[in-house]
Amino acid sequence: MTSQTPGIRSAPAGGEAPGVAQSDGWYQRLARATGLLYLIVVVFGMFSAVVLETLVVPGDATATAQNVLGSLALFRVSLMGWLLIVVADVAISVLLFSLLESINRTLSLVAASFRIVYSAMLGAFLLSLFDGLLVLTGAERAARPMMTDVPSQALYHFETFSAGFTLALVFFGVHMIVLGVVLFQSRYVPRVLGVLLTLAGIGYILDGLGTFFGARPGSLATAILLGPALFGEVGLTLWLLVKGVDVRPKATTPT
C-alpha cells in the first residue's frame, strides 16, 4: 500500500521515473496549455470551415471559381488556419495523453492514436485545397487528361477535400468517445463534459458516415447529432483555460 500527498499524483509512465511525484502545478500548466491549443482549434476551425462553405458552391464550378478568385487573400488565410489546426491537434493528442495517462494508460493511448490518425488524414486531404487553388491561379496546372475545364477541376479538388474531411471526422468521433470516457473516469473536469464529449463522438460518427455514403442527415438531425460537440468542446476548452484540472484524490464510497 502506498501513500500519496494530497494534491499530488504519481508521475505517469514514460515521463519521469516511477515513484517521482508531479506537483499539482505541473498538471495545471499542462491543462492550460491543452486548453490554449483547443482554443486555437475551435477558433480557426470555425473560421476556416465558414470560409470554405461560403466560397465553395457545391455543383457550381463557375461560381466557386469566381468566389475563390475574388477572395484569394481570405482563402489563403483559411488554408493557413487548416494547417495550424493540424499542428495544434497533434500537440493536443500528446498533451491529453500526458494528462490522462495515469488514469487509464490504454484508453488514453487509444484516444491519442485516433486523434493523430484524424490529423494525418486532414493534413493529407489539405493537399486537395492547395491543388484547387493552384489550378485556379496557375494555368499550367490545369492540363489534366479528361478534365480541361479549370473551374470544374478546381471544384473537384475542393469537393475531394470535403469528402476526405468528412471521413476523417469519423476517426475524430472515435477519439471523442474514448476521451469522454477517460475524462469521466478521471473527474479532472465536471463529468458532464465527459458525457457531452462521448455524445459528440457518436454524433460525429453518425453524421460523417451518413454524409460520406450519400445519406446526409437533415439540418435538424445534424444539429441534434453535433450539438453536444459545440457544448462539450467549447466547455472543455474554457474549463481547462479557466479552472485547469482537479487532480486531488477523490473519496471513494466503501462497498
Instruction: Quick: pLDDT tens for 98-136.
Output: 999 999 999 999 999 999 999 999 999 999 999 999 999
All cell numbers assigned to 27: 498538471
When pLDDT is averaged across residues 202-226 and rounded to a whole number, the result is 77
Task: Please name the residues in contact with 125: beta carbons below 8 A apart, sequence gap of 6 or more.
Answer: 160, 161, 164, 165, 168
Strands (E), 160-243: none
Percentage of residues of the chain with pLDDT beyond 90: 69
Quick one: pLDDT at residue 20? Answer: 34
pLDDT at 249 over 90: no
Residue 165: CB atoms within 10 Å:
22
Q: How confident is the model at residue 209 (pLDDT cuts 50, 70, 90)?
A: confident
User: Which pTM was predicted?
Assistant: 0.82
Residue 228 has what pLDDT?
Answer: 85
Average pLDDT over residues 4-11: 42
Pairwise CA distance, residues 206 & 217, whole Å: 9
What pLDDT sits at residue 252? Answer: 52
Q: Which residues share a beta bridge with 21?
A: 10
What is the reported pLDDT for 213? 75
- Helices within 56-190 (DSSP H only): 61-70, 72-100, 105-137, 150-186
111 contacts 172 by C-beta, under 8 angstroms: no
Which value, in Å, is the radius of gyration of the alpha carbons in the chain? 21
pLDDT over threshold 90, residue 56: yes
Q: Give the model confidence (pLDDT) of 134-190 as tens digits.
A: 999 875 454 554 456 888 999 999 999 999 999 999 999 999 999 999 999 999 999
